[in-house]
Structure 1
Amino acid sequence: MQVSVETTSGLQRQLTVTVPAERIDTDVEKQVVQQARTRRMDGFRPGKVPAKVIKRMYGDAIRYEVLNRVVQETFYEAVQQESLMPAGAPSIEFKTDKEGEDFAYVATFDVYPEIELKDLAGVEVEKATASIKAADVKNMIDTLRKQQSTFKATRGMVKEGFQVNIDFEGFVDGEAFEGGKAEDQDLVIGSGSMIPGFEDGIIGKKKGEEFDVEVTFPEEYQSEALAGKAATFKMKLNEVSKPELPELNEEFFAKFGVSSADEAEFKAEVEKNMAREMNHALKTKTKTAVFDALIAQNEIEAPAAMIDDEVNVLRQQAVQQFGGQAQIDPNTLPKELFEEQAIRRVKIGLLVQEVIKAGNLEATDERVDAILADIAESYDDADEVISYYKGNEQMLNQIRSLALEDEVVDHLLASAKVKEVKVSYEEALKPAQQ
């Protein structure tokens, strides 16, 4: 077997493998003889089909099967011989394929980048900190009350947060357009469920009024025929309802898992849940900042095959976020939407593995138990949740991966120049910029 390697670009390699004709032809003849013994064919007794008949009828298929098997065997022999580490499956192209001649093929693939790991020694990394104030708890409780609010009919003017029932029909250049008409539609003002300007045009109106609302469809609107167009909606306001907030009582508290009429106990439970969510968000921000710094310190190229795999994972996740609707084919989602995030993920994965190897890191039982305890805290029976995870090896391995990732972050922070930045509760909950 002869092997040659060419670097075509960056991490891409082309491996040309030549296999002696004797190896191919010998394997083909063996398969022909084997099928002559076992294949049943009209006009011949079992085991008596002439080899030349088998070769004439099935020779091409047999040869193709042999060639594919030889490619699988010789490819891994070749990459080991050349000390290459493929990052994904190769693309195979047959170069020469004639009976009696040496067989040659070209395998194209990416290799893993060579990484000379740089840690974060002396690198400034921001670590956000936050605390929960009484006003934050009050705002959260107000939000929970609004979520549980009911609506009561009123003769007053429409305000932000009111619910209306409307009939409407939309016109562009004086012509009604498809999908622009509805009757008895409920709408909460301020929900943002309609195009900009639609809900604002209803504010200040009263039950029974008929009026026009002038809007302009967004340039990126889903219907090309309406995108950027000025439109008039003729409306009739059938009903106006104002929100009524529930009382802070035992019935309300029970909806959030607090079986008590004590308002102080309810506030304490709300604050505890807020603290858990805030701490998770702060931890994620720190992790993002650490990994951003790690990528900045180590300029590496991400293998194309790994990027493609990660894009497919992100596509699947996007479909699940849409509700897992069967009619959405993940492959129809443009690669460009996910490519930047996929590249970042691949780079982080490669660098994290190097950090683990260089630091000889592992997920400790203490950290695994801490993560499990944190997960279980939000359930009624924490011990049952922990036992469930520990009894499921696949789920437990996911927790170990999280614990190991936390070990990596702490290991990197130990050498970094950490700058603590105090932020508000609201700021802490905002997603980290990537």
Structure 2
Amino acid sequence: MNHKNADADKKSVSKADNTGDLQPAVQDKDENVLIRRFKISMSKEDIASEIEALAVQYSQKVKMPGFRQGKVPVDVVKKVYKQALKEEVIQQAVSKLAFAQIEKDKIAAASEPYVEKIDNPEGEDFQADIAVETLPEIKLPDLETLQVRIAAADLHGEAFDEAKQIEKVLEANKRSLPVKDRAIAENDLVLLLVQSADKAGKRKWPRQEIYFMMNKEKEAEIAGLHDELLGKKSEEKFTIQRSYPAAAPKKAWAGKDIEHQVEIKAIYELKKPELDDNFLKSLGMKNVEDFKIKLKEEYQHRQEHQKDEKIMEGIYETLLETSQFPVPRSLQEQEVARQLTQNRRPLNFKDDGEKAKFKEMMFAQAEKAVRLSLILEQVHRQHHIAVTDQDLEKEYAHLSQHHSLPEKEIRKYYSEEKKAAELRDHLLNVKINAFIRDKIKINEV
């Protein structure tokens, strides 16, 4: 807890979050049905005793004129550091007493406790009003009475089309071959040397090599680059004059007249490989038959995975609809912070309206994610689902076969405490999902 001002009312002593100005509007704590309140107190005698003990610690560390370090009299320390000693004792007392009360009353806390009010007159007993957000009571529906409707197309998927899947593999493995005897055409890959300059400001950006894919639908930083390149040949040089609007994708060019000096260094044609021995060898295949067998196996595996995802999505939505309870705001804020940490792209908003919509979307997603997490945790506790040593042994064998590694290497990797915990969490989620899926009826529509 981070209580800093012992005389202030309604000071939060919980850890700060990372949602920044994406915090939702402050809601009156009285409106939150999950807030649990209690009082803590400490006698003036205990306060004096704690101050005395802390002053002894201070006396051994502080430096003061006229005294050697570690030789400052305790009475001098108490006089000089009177306010600091009192504040530190109160801060420690708030934290210790609040958490002790939570443990004593077996409060299922969703957040750290915070101070709503402190009453600490000079020379009197100390009292504080503490509040903490709690986890909700979750009543699960009878899973065996629930039904989930899944479209037949999602359950059965598309039939395996060998020719279509082979074409996809060849398309994904296109090779770039240099072109010298023709002009640039659609779907070519072009290597350019570009130098851009601000005509008014006389600023020049460093020359740089860029690869540009000739795709009419693809937007380029240099406006109209696709049409300028079409029909030109390797080693040609030309100039592009552009006036960019204030909302241009490249901020450095926004609202400016830019001149681009362009040189075509090379042209490449993307060609699909032949389904020959060399290509099959590059994929680790012995022959065409092995390739086709593997292709079908992988397709069926993807189809099965997609079917499982659709079923679990339907199950999750049904659980969310049939399990209504208040979701702790503190957990929503933590989830938003987690999502923002994972999103490494900068957040740029055109205006406050766009920012407000983004904020609303983030907290809606967080509310749903936290609600589902609490439901699954309740399934775990209520039905006593656990990961056994046998589950771990089975997973080690599976990972060994899947990665073509000796089982001892797999065990060594998961010998670290953090990795072992992650594996157990994964297996627990798998078992919870399997349990739910076994109980809930799936109807094909």
Q: Please give the TM-score of this superposition, normalised by the length of structure 2.
A: 0.72
The CA RMSD over aligned residues, in Å, is: 4.3
- Structure 1 residue 281, shift from structure 2 partner: 4.1
CA offset digits 1:62-102 (Å, max 9, x no partner): 22222122112210233345553221222336623343122
Distance in 1 of aligned mates of 2:297 and 2:125: 72
* Candidates 255, 259, 271, aligned match of 2:282: 255
- Structure 1 residue 280, shift from structure 2 partner: 3.8
Partner of 1:427: none
CA offset digits 1:148-197 (Å, max 9, x no partner): x022214334333311234667899x979978996653322239472597
Verify the 8 A CA contact 1:125 1:416 in the aligned structure 2: no
Helix, strand or coil at the partner of 1:361: coil
Partner of 1:187: 212
Verify the 8 A CA contact 2:98 2:113 in the aligned structure 1: no
Pair 1:402 & 2:429 matched = no
* Matched residue type, 1:201: D
Distance in 2 of aligned mates of 1:40 and 1:218: 60
Pair 1:164 & 2:187 matched = no
Partner of 2:75: 52
Helix, strand or coil at the partner of 2:173: helix
Verify the 8 A CA contact 2:55 2:77 in the aligned structure 1: yes
Helix, strand or coil at the partner of 1:89: coil
Partner of 2:148: 124
CA offset digits 1:335-375 (Å, max 9, x no partner): 76743433333222211111112222223556555555554
Partner of 2:163: 135
* Candidates 435, 438, 444, aligned match of 1:411: 435
Distance in 1 of aligned mates of 2:393 and 2:296: 24
Distance in 2 of aligned mates of 1:151 and 1:263: 25
Q: How does 1:183-332 map to 2 (within 5 A)?
A: 185-190=210-215, 192=218, 194-195=220-221, 198=224, 200-201=226-227, 204-207=230-233, 208=236, 221=249, 223=251, 226=254, 237=264, 239-258=266-285, 260=286, 262-319=287-344
Q: 1:136 to 1:392 in 2, by over 3 A?
A: farther
Verify the 8 A CA contact 1:170 1:234 in the aligned structure 2: yes
Structure 1 unpaired stretches of 5+: 1-5, 323-333, 422-434
Q: 1:99 to 1:29 in 2, by over 3 A?
A: farther
Pair 1:111 & 2:168 matched = no
Q: 1:122 to 1:137 in 2, by over 3 A?
A: same
* Matched residue type, 1:72: S
* Matched residue type, 1:252: F
Verify the 8 A CA contact 1:198 1:213 in the aligned structure 2: no
Helix, strand or coil at the partner of 2:107: coil
* Matched residue type, 1:387: R
* Matched residue type, 1:24: I
Pair 1:20 & 2:43 matched = yes
Q: Please give the TM-score of this superposition, normalised by the length of structure 1.
A: 0.73
Distance in 2 of aligned mates of 1:282 and 1:314: 26
Q: 1:366 to 1:193 in 2, by over 3 A?
A: farther
My pick for the range that moved more, 44-53 or 78-87, is: 44-53
Q: 1:206 to 1:309 in 2, by over 3 A?
A: same
Equivalent pairs, count: 398
Q: 1:391 to 1:20 in 2, by over 3 A?
A: closer
Q: 1:378 to 1:48 in 2, by over 3 A?
A: closer
Q: 1:412 to 1:212 in 2, by over 3 A?
A: same
Distance in 2 of aligned mates of 1:284 and 1:184: 42
* Candidates 365, 368, 371, aligned match of 1:344: 368
Q: 1:163 to 1:70 in 2, by over 3 A?
A: same
Structure 2 unpaired stretches of 5+: 1-28, 347-357
Helix, strand or coil at the partner of 1:92: strand
- Structure 1 residue 117, shift from structure 2 partner: 1.4
Distance in 2 of aligned mates of 1:140 and 1:341: 34
* Matched residue type, 1:18: S
Distance in 1 of aligned mates of 2:329 and 2:202: 46
Distance in 1 of aligned mates of 2:119 and 2:149: 56
Verify the 8 A CA contact 1:390 1:396 in the aligned structure 2: yes
Verify the 8 A CA contact 1:18 1:102 in the aligned structure 2: yes
Between Structure 1 and Structure 2, which shows a larger proportion of strand residues? 1
Partner of 1:358: 382
* Matched residue type, 2:114: S
Verify the 8 A CA contact 2:237 2:261 in the aligned structure 1: no
Partner of 2:8: none
Helix, strand or coil at the partner of 1:409: helix
Q: 1:237 to 1:354 in 2, by over 3 A?
A: same
Distance in 2 of aligned mates of 1:246 and 1:282: 32
Helix, strand or coil at the partner of 1:71: helix
- Structure 1 residue 138, shift from structure 2 partner: 0.9
Q: 1:181 to 1:52 in 2, by over 3 A?
A: closer
* Matched residue type, 1:248: L
* Matched residue type, 2:165: V
Distance in 2 of aligned mates of 1:314 and 1:355: 25
Helix, strand or coil at the partner of 1:64: helix
Verify the 8 A CA contact 1:215 1:231 in the aligned structure 2: yes
Helix, strand or coil at the partner of 2:403: coil
Helix, strand or coil at the partner of 1:185: strand
Distance in 1 of aligned mates of 2:59 and 2:205: 71
Partner of 2:3: none
Verify the 8 A CA contact 1:119 1:294 in the aligned structure 2: no
* Matched residue type, 2:267: V
Identity %: 19
